Amino acid sequence: MNKVANALYAGRKILLILWIILIVGFGFYAAKLPSVLGGNGFEMKGMYKDTEQLLVNKFDVSEAQIIVLFEKKTEFLTRNSSKPSLSICKKQKTNQTRRKLIYQRLLTR
């Protein structure tokens, strides 16, 4: 225990400089946080917000809920279905196509 205490006392100036660098460095990033964490931290723009407003207005869903989408790696629609599946959209690697497909499915339910 004395060895640790002696080492900390001998390097106290270096330790103090490291703490000051850490505080200043993280303080720079902390100044940006209020704009990033506006609202409750879960507010998103775009199609997500449109879908949320549609659920609130047409289906009387609470605004306090969060929509979580779980996807399987396999197709979750039957092969006889005429609607495209999310796995097809994954192959195209277009997130916008996937979002439109999810939005259309919410509208048709």
Domain edges within the chain: 2-36, 47-108
The pTM (predicted TM-score) of the whole model is 0.35
Tokens found for residue 37: 């964490």
User: pLDDT at position 101, please?
Assistant: 72
User: pLDDT at position 86, please?
Assistant: 53
Q: Which residue, chain included where needed, has tokens 């850490």? A: 22
Beta carbons of 109 and 56 less than 8 angstroms apart: no
Percent of all residues in the chain with a pLDDT value above 90, rounded to a whole number: 22
The per-residue pLDDT for range 23-69, each reduced to its tens digit, is 999 998 888 887 777 666 566 677 878 888 888 898 888 877 766 77
Tokens found for residue 99: 């979002």
User: pLDDT at position 41, please?
Assistant: 59
Number of H helices, E strands in the chain: 6, 0
**Alpha-carbon separation of residue 37 from 13, 28, 58 (angstroms):** 36, 16, 29
User: First vs last Cα of the chain: how many Å apart?
Assistant: 67
The per-residue pLDDT for range 89-100, each reduced to its tens digit, is 455 555 666 677
User: pLDDT at position 52, please?
Assistant: 81
Q: What 3-state DSSP class applies to 24?
A: helix
Say whether pLDDT at 7 is over 60. Answer: yes
Q: Per-residue confidence at 21, pLDDT binned at 50, 70, 90?
A: very high
